[in-house]
Amino acid sequence: MPPAGDDAAVVVGRLLRERGLTLAVAESCTGGLVSHRITNVPGSSDYYRGAVTAYANDVKEKLLQVLRQTLVRHGAVSEQTAAEMARGIRRVIAADVGISVTGIAGPTGGTPEKPVGLVYVGLNASDAAWVERHVFDGDRLKNKERAAEAALNLVRRYLEEGL
């Protein structure tokens, strides 16, 4: 976790700047919240390339290069889709690091296999590819906030420790 008082977006920005790396974001269930947090940091234009908020599956396919076969076989909320979203945004926007978030914010849409609060966060870089699975138990807004924090913390851990 970042030191007390240090916002994850601030820490990520500092680390990206120090390493001379750029970041791109592919969001679904967070609806742009990760990008919002990143761009709230002064100077974020030094390292933040941009984002795609891909709520619909056809947008994930067309803009993020997620394979239709992946969406049909595994669903939009899956480890595989998160991995392809992170790889796709990194390629499409030409960033050093791509991060993705896909999940079920709630309060509806969950199933026994994929409950409300299920979120996958993916990261893709030239030397790493990683997906984390989370299940949050808050309301819609709290689940989105926790998912955004998880995405920023995944980038932070990659930059600090590698994956």
pLDDT in tens, 39-86: 999 999 999 999 999 999 999 999 999 999 999 999 999 999 999 999
Position 2 scores a pLDDT of 40
- Domain boundaries along the sequence of the chain: 8-161
pTM (2 d.p.): 0.94
Position 162 scores a pLDDT of 78
Position 4 scores a pLDDT of 40
51: left (phi over 0), alpha (psi -120 to 50) or beta: beta
Q: Which CATH class for the 8-161 domain?
A: alpha beta
Asked whether 101 and 76 are in contact (CB, 8 A), the reply is no
pLDDT in tens, 107-152: 999 999 999 999 999 999 999 999 999 999 999 999 999 999 999 9
